[in-house]
Structure 1
Amino acid sequence: MTTNDLRSCSSQTSQKSVPEMNRFGEKDIYARARAVSPYSRGLILAPDGKTVLDPQPSNHPNDPLNWSRSKKHITLFTITLISCLTDFGSAIGIPTVIPQSYEWQRPPAEVQHSLSANIFCLGAGGFVAIQLSEYFGRLPVLLVFHTLGLATGIWSGAATSYDSYLAARVLNGLFSGVAQSGGLMWIKEIYFSHEHPRMINAWAGPVIVSPFIGPMLASFMMTTTSWRWPFWLYTILNAIALVLAVLFLDEPLFDRETPNAERLDCGSRWQRLLGIPQWRSRHLRPGLLSCLARPLVILNKIPLLLILLWGYFNYAWVIGVNTTTAIWLTTIYHFQPVSLGCFYFAALVGVGLGQIGGHWLHDAIGRWFAARHNGKIEPEARLLLSYPASALMFVSLVILGLALQNTWHYMVIAVFYGAQLCGLEVAITAISAFIVDAYPEVPGETGAWLILVRTTGGFMASYIQLPWVQRDGAAVALGVQAAIGGFTTLLFLVLSFFGKQIRQWQGPVNV
């Protein structure tokens, strides 16, 4: 459907009917036909003639929902690339610990503190970026933070002492998480609701696999070069991403409730890159203090808290396995750097299978649910795939523990290492689609909380994993982790049976 088509349809549409359709996060996006569905009367439909577009686009040419297909996809590609570099740059420091400890005459355990500090700061920095994005605009905040992330990446590779390197890694964590924390926000603002699961799946897959690509490439590179070259690679990729952002990204922040007559001139694209129109129109948005408080306001929503609790523990065990796999494989199976690098292909295969399967499964679940509920799909329907995905994660953890405890063949570890990530890819897409549909007013804030619980959970797991395994054995430690994850998955049952009633009782987010 072209922009002109949208404008002509929009002139016949009452924009005031749209919030009613959104009221408690219910998505009437699979209405079958205008003639037979009361939900589609007077509303703009997708090109298939059946799907009601939600949110309804305005007739303004700068509305991101009216962007061309190619512009939307290159925006998603650029945001995904910048998001991937967050964990790629963090995990690239895993295999560099040993050569750094030799160079600076520090114990490996002390050098590894830089990794834990970087992981923790990723969530905190991305959280602040989301708060500022609501006031200053998405695009200028992303460019500023990404530029500072590029600078601290250069500093990391050029550091001549451990203290300098530690400072660089801390600051790099603070600045490089901007796109990853805001990924859901960008997807929500440029795509329609029925497209969200597919686009979240396309964004989440590379993000999940990125912390495995980093150490894989670093392991290969360090067989012939110094530990600094992985960071130079990280710097080069950051520079490419910055060029793509400057050339192709545009401001997605758009208030459809403001009449066109009251809307300020959006300016030229280079002005939007600098944040000039965003600054001039700041009086149309909440004040700075309100924007800073937005992430805290949503914490009274029970469904969101339950999702965050699941994310904290289940992300933690995945990160715990990732940060300790290299140690297990080198000490138990005597892997060399090249063999270790090859092992990480298991992660690529696992996430790839989850992404390919999820591309169709999430849409299929939506169509199946809508066909049985008068063309309506509720946010809780997005969680259906999280049950088998979570079960796959927990079974994989148990078998990983048994394999390490009993020194089974390393291919068993590779298979279930990948299977755990396959389950994570499907589950994360499901819960991300749920929170975007349930609380469409705050996609950036909910996404930032997801990233924050992931990084804090990973920070916790990276500290306790090795001592726990050394004390109780891998079978017990990973078995207990699987049991904790299984218990938190029971929270999905609460949402599946009572989630809608809880959301109606608490009402929409007031920001």
Structure 2
Amino acid sequence: MAEPDLKDQVADSRRSTSTAAATDTLTQDSARTSMQANHQENQHQFDAGQGASHDYSEKQQEQAGQASQPVTELTPAVPISAEPVSLLTGEPPSEAPVVEQPPKYSIHPAWAKRLIIFGASISAFFSPLTAQIYLPALPTVADDFHVTASKATLTVTTYMIFQGITPMFLGGLADSAGRRPAYVICFVIYIGANIGLALCKNFTSLLILRMLQSAGSSTTIALCQATLADITTSAERGQYVGITALPQVLAPSLGPVVGGLLTNYLGWRWIFWLLTIMAGVNLLGLLMFFPETCRKIVGDGSGRKDSHWIYWTGWQLLRDNLARRERRRERKRREAELSKEDPSNHNNGLHLTVSTASAPRQKIKLSLTTPNILQSLTLLFRSKQLAILLSYSAIVFSGFYAIGTAMPNQLSTLYGLNDIEIGLMYLPMAGGSIVTAFVIGRVITWNFHRHARRLGMVIDRSRQTDLSAFPIERARLEVGLPLLALTSAVVISWGWAMQSKTSLAAPCVLLFLLGVGMIGFNNTVSTLVADIYPGKAGAATAANNLTRCLLGAASSAVILPMVEGIGSGWAYTIFGGLYVFFAPLLLVLMSRGMRWRAEEKWKEEAKEEKRKQEQKA
């Protein structure tokens, strides 16, 4: 049987009224048959005919106005190996299975993530700063209001209590109603409390306003960790942890120094005026530039345009308003040009309006989910792994608070340092904290990828990894355990250094190492909490804050009586010994954490299915 001529087939394809895709398929099948019989002779002619058919198909699609419709991609003809079975029978070539990748976790590029997390960290800076900057003013406050030093210390105790309780309310609100509304509420309360503290006339008002001040500032730590969980995946979260650690690093070191200088030269009321000014500037920056990150509101960040205007930054609102004004001016300009070109449009009082503006933006009704203010307690008491993790973290921080509370008294009594010199003694701890804040993030990320390679997992940092079969507890705590051992040794050594009154260089070195161990361990715990509960990061961090503050308040209250009763050496040995005594709990968490997560997920899915069935009924 004679082979059909290639040029005749091309001419037939041009006269065909079938779609472009069908024409192309027919041409390719005929060409391939011809190629199989006489490939060398007709190859040049086939390429020319195929290009002509392809150009004609594209022109036909453009004339039909089908550019915006999904069309079959035209495959250019290429030489293929001779496999007569599939070609002669007309069977389509086999296609490799298409694996759909999950969407990117966040639309924000790396530089935008850094700026967002840095903005959240600046806001979180106010919580520890407010607690520390006030401490040097306690003797002066007691003298001004004619109260004892013990009574003046109540302003610190009540501050810490509210620092632990308040995030349970606003942390749940942030998880359901968004981060921006929670930030605004926090700083409005905080600024009002600072103004009141700067103007208060009696001790009772000072005590009440300190509680209110704590309520405004304490939630910012939880909001910072929640923002971190909103826009970063588990594979990349470690590299951003150093930024979130800055508030807890710098505030305890800079706060006493600044507070002592203000108290000595301007008076203790200027502490609160300074905080008012700083908070006002920060609130303005949040309103203008800090985007909403809560995934229930904006998803990966692309849902901002469909959200209520309260979730828009001031810059976004301004830019949107300018764009609408520009469209309005363009519409009026075109109307004027049309009127000049065709004056008959105004005859008989008629006016032709040509609108070039886009459709008006849909008004989104604001609907806020009622926040579960007890969600933090629910997580703390119902989650085995969270209960172990946060309880142990609180025990570790109790030793940190014990050192910080007794340190001014001990340095003043044993070494004769004044308030400013005592404040400067916090700087070695800041140095160690800064070092570990940036180094430990890389180590956390490295260990995550090490476990992923061992399991044969391919990690894409821009997409969230399914952690259901990943030992995330082991990956994080393997980094934290050496830092925990260092912290335990430093706490015990601090006690014996104070009791033996060593050279002042010894406390400086120990404080540097304390910053390395304590902040490093805290970073691993915070990262793990965000990994386990990414959708409830605000409530989980609030529970973490609650346990730390309550045990911190207790350790601050008992450390001085313990030092007076049994001496510094044994007092701090007890705190360091608690680290070692409860360390097996972390080993249990590392071995059983993945199974506990699976059980919790199964229970939540069963509960959700039951709720849906009840709604249908």
Bigger mean CA offset, 212-221 vs 250-259: 250-259
Match of 1:77 in 2: 118
Answer yes or no: is the 8 Å Cα contact 1:379–1:435 preserved in 2.
no
Match of 1:332 in 2: 414
Match of 2:154 in 1: 113
Distance change >3 Å, CA 247–CA 120, structure 1 → 2:
same
Cα distance in 1 for partners of 2:112, 2:588 equals 39
Paired letter, 1:392: L
Q: Is 2:534 aligned against 1:440? A: yes
Cα distance in 2 for partners of 1:509, 1:400 equals 46
Answer yes or no: is the 8 Å Cα contact 2:140–2:268 preserved in 1.
yes
Cα distance in 1 for partners of 2:163, 2:375 equals 19
Secondary structure, aligned partner of 1:192 = coil
Aligned partner of 2:444 among 343, 350, 362: 362
Aligned partner of 2:382 among 300, 323, 340: 300
* TM-score normalised by L of structure 1: 0.82
Bigger mean CA offset, 161-170 vs 216-225: 216-225
Q: Is 2:235 aligned against 1:194? A: yes
Distance change >3 Å, CA 139–CA 259, structure 1 → 2:
closer
Distance change >3 Å, CA 221–CA 71, structure 1 → 2:
same
Answer yes or no: is the 8 Å Cα contact 1:148–1:175 preserved in 2.
yes
Cα distance in 2 for partners of 1:368, 1:234 equals 44
Cα distance in 1 for partners of 2:416, 2:104 equals 58
Look at both structures and tell me which one has the larger radius of gyration over its CA atoms. 2
Answer yes or no: is the 8 Å Cα contact 1:346–1:418 preserved in 2.
yes
Give how far 1:269 is off: 6.1
Distance change >3 Å, CA 393–CA 88, structure 1 → 2:
same
Match of 2:208 in 1: 167
Aligned partner of 1:318 among 393, 396, 400: 400
Cα distance in 2 for partners of 1:158, 1:410 equals 40
Bigger mean CA offset, 333-342 vs 372-381: 372-381
Q: Is 2:471 aligned against 1:378? A: yes
Bigger mean CA offset, 122-131 vs 69-78: 69-78
Higher RCO (CA 8 Å, separation ≥ 6 residues): 1
Aligned partner of 2:104 among 54, 57, 74: 57
Q: Is 2:487 aligned against 1:406? A: no
Give how far 1:279 is off: 8.9
Cα distance in 2 for partners of 1:406, 1:278 equals 70
Cα distance in 2 for partners of 1:278, 1:446 equals 33
Secondary structure, aligned partner of 1:226 = coil
Give how far 1:135 is off: 3.3
Bigger mean CA offset, 335-344 vs 250-259: 250-259
Distance change >3 Å, CA 465–CA 495, structure 1 → 2:
same
Paired letter, 1:168: L
Cα distance in 2 for partners of 1:419, 1:41 equals 48
Match of 1:143 in 2: 184
* TM-score normalised by L of structure 2: 0.68
Answer yes or no: is the 8 Å Cα contact 1:119–1:173 preserved in 2.
yes
- Which deviations, in whole Å up to 9, do the C-alpha atoms of 1:183-234 show, x marking residues without a partner? 2211111222222122223202332441232112212333323122222222
Match of 1:280 in 2: 365
Q: Is 2:428 aligned against 1:346? A: yes
Paired letter, 1:105: H
Bigger mean CA offset, 96-105 vs 211-220: 211-220
Distance change >3 Å, CA 263–CA 102, structure 1 → 2:
closer
Paired letter, 2:472: P
Cα distance in 2 for partners of 1:475, 1:413 equals 14
Cα distance in 2 for partners of 1:271, 1:77 equals 19
Cα distance in 2 for partners of 1:80, 1:248 equals 14
Give how far 1:446 is off: 1.0
- Which deviations, in whole Å up to 9, do the C-alpha atoms of 1:303-329 show, x marking residues without a partner? 111001111211111012112211111
Paired letter, 1:314: V
Paired letter, 2:215: L
Q: What is the 5 A alignment of 1:452-491? A: 452-491=546-585
Give how far 1:476 is off: 0.6
Paired letter, 2:434: G
Distance change >3 Å, CA 335–CA 293, structure 1 → 2:
closer
Cα distance in 2 for partners of 1:184, 1:378 equals 21
Q: State percent identity of aligned pairs.
A: 18
Cα distance in 2 for partners of 1:313, 1:297 equals 20
Match of 1:418 in 2: 512
Cα distance in 2 for partners of 1:243, 1:236 equals 11
Q: What is the 5 A alignment of 1:16-55? A: 41-43=99-101
Give how far 1:479 is off: 0.1
- Which deviations, in whole Å up to 9, do the C-alpha atoms of 1:424-473 show, x marking residues without a partner? 11111111222222232321111111111111111111111111111111
Cα distance in 2 for partners of 1:205, 1:259 equals 26
- Which deviations, in whole Å up to 9, do the C-alpha atoms of 1:345-397 show, x marking residues without a partner? 11211211211321321122122222222127531111111111101110001
Cα distance in 2 for partners of 1:278, 1:77 equals 32
Distance change >3 Å, CA 235–CA 263, structure 1 → 2:
closer
Cα distance in 2 for partners of 1:259, 1:210 equals 32
Give how far 1:134 is off: 3.0
Aligned partner of 2:521 among 424, 427, 442: 427
Cα distance in 2 for partners of 1:202, 1:341 equals 24
Cα distance in 1 for partners of 2:553, 2:603 equals 30
RMSD: 3.0
- Which deviations, in whole Å up to 9, do the C-alpha atoms of 1:273-309 show, x marking residues without a partner? 89xx9993537xxx426x3343243231111110011
Match of 1:27 in 2: none
Give how far 1:157 is off: 2.4
Paired letter, 2:184: L
Paired letter, 2:471: E
Q: Is 2:221 aligned against 1:180? A: yes
Cα distance in 2 for partners of 1:462, 1:201 equals 27
- Which deviations, in whole Å up to 9, do the C-alpha atoms of 1:106-134 show, x marking residues without a partner? 11111011011111111211221112223
Aligned partner of 1:492 among 570, 581, 586: 586
Q: Is 2:483 aligned against 1:392? A: no
Answer yes or no: is the 8 Å Cα contact 1:136–1:279 preserved in 2.
no
Answer yes or no: is the 8 Å Cα contact 1:209–1:347 preserved in 2.
no
Give how far 1:423 is off: 0.8
Q: Is 2:290 aligned against 1:249? A: yes
Give how far 1:177 is off: 1.5
Paired letter, 1:378: P
